[in-house]
């Protein structure tokens, strides 16, 4: 890029995001930006508001204040004003979420789980959606499970279907909420490998995870949330090895030495 060219606008800009449940202020004022192709990792204690941030980005939660802007303002919402339903749905369309507990539809096969969104919501042609879904399932080693039901799969397999389901929506932003925290330890690696490949392919991702070795490999930036604010942020190699805030140090220490 020549010095005269303006830097490209971030894919995602979040400013002053706040959310209370009753008198519990879960998010106080959250600010961050994320450029296309970058990976942001959120860490923080249970109850610090990580899931609420992801759900707000995905239009599942309505913040009380703040703004979210996607794709240089193609979708821009000021939550301090009444939000039209159409805008909230537009925000939702830009991202896809991978959940802690997979959240697959139990009565649908693997292939149906993956193609439901593209066919029913996005109105894509069934043949195209199925071909793409199968190619994605093959890539994560689940081509032979297309007709299986979720209960027939291990947690690691279910979560790989969850990831394929999100990718099949072709969102601009992939959101992951502690995607490996429900898995038996020996199943974690396959899921992280898939996520690492997506990061290498250039997907823009926001990931809540406490897999620090993985986070260090994929994250461009790490945010440490506590008490509804970003206590510290930085590149993983700096934040994980030389945190400046006492709360960050304590949290990382507890992760590394839980007892
Ligand atoms: P984290 O993902 O960091 O553990 P969450 O964003 O899930 O944190 O939750 C932050 C706080 O908000 C928690 O204390 C949680 O109990 C509360 N909370 C989340 N969702 C709701 C809700 N729908 N109603 C009431 N309280 C909620
Ligand atoms: Mg959570």
| Predicted confidence (pLDDT) at residue 194 exceeds the cutoff of 70 | yes
Atom of ligand 1 nearest to the CA of 52: 6
| Predicted confidence (pLDDT) at residue 188 exceeds the cutoff of 90 | yes
Q: Where are the domains of the chain?
A: 12-104+166-256
Residue nearest to atom 5 of ligand 1 (CA): 49
Tens of pLDDT, residues 10-46: 999 999 999 999 999 999 999 999 999 999 999 999 9
The rounded Cα 80 to chain-centroid distance in angstroms is 24
- Residue 174's SS3 state is strand
What pLDDT does 100 receive? 96
Ligand 1 mean position, distance from CA 162 (Å): 22
The rounded Cα 94 to chain-centroid distance in angstroms is 12
Is the four-CA dihedral 186, 189, 192, 193 of positive or negative sign? negative
Residue nearest to atom 6 of ligand 1 (CA): 49
Atom of ligand 1 nearest to the CA of 48: 3
pTM: 0.96
Tens of pLDDT, residues 75-98: 999 999 999 999 999 999 999 999
Q: What CATH number was assigned to the domain covering residues 12-104+166-256?
A: 3.40.50.300
The vertex-95 CA angle with 52 and 185, nearest 5°, equals 65
Tens of pLDDT, residues 59-80: 999 999 999 999 989 999 999 9
Does residue 93 contact residue 143 with C-beta atoms inside 8 Å?
Answer: no
d(CA 209, CA 214): 9
d(CA 83, CA 65): 11
What pLDDT does 4 receive? 52
Tens of pLDDT, residues 125-162: 999 999 999 999 999 999 999 999 999 999 999 999 99
Average pLDDT for the chain: 95
């Amino acid at each position: 890029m020549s010095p005269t060219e303006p830097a490209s606008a971030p894919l995602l800009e979040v400013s002053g995001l706040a959310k209370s449940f009753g008198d519990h202020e879960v998010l106080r004022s959250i600010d961050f930006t994320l450029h296309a192709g970058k990976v942001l990792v959120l860490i923080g204690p249970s109850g610090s508001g990580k899931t609420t941030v992801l759900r707000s980005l995905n239009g599942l939660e309505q913040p009380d204040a703040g703004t979210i802007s996607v794709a240089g303002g193609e979708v821009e919402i000021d939550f301090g004003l009444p939000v039209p339903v159409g805008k909230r749905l537009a925000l939702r369309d830009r991202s896809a979420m991978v959940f802690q507990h997979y959240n697959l539809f139990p009565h649908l096969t693997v292939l149906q789980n993956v193609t439901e969104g593209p066919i029913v919501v996005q109105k894509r042609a069934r043949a195209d959606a199925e071909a793409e879904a199968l190619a994605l399932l093959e890539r994560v080693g689940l081509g032979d499970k297309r007709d299986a039901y979720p209960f027939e799969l291990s947690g690691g397999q279910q979560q790989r279907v969850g990831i394929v389901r999100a990718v099949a929506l072709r969102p601009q932003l992939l959101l992951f909420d502690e995607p490996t925290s429900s898995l038996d330890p020996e199943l974690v690696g396959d899921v992280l490998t898939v996520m690492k490949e997506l990061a290498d392919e250039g997907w823009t991702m926001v990931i809540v995870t406490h897999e620090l070795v993985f986070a260090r490999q994929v994250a461009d930036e790490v945010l440490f949330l506590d008490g509804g604010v970003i206590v510290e942020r930085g590149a993983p190699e700096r934040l994980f090895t030389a945190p400046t805030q006492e709360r960050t140090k304590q949290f990382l220490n507890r992760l590394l030495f839980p007892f």
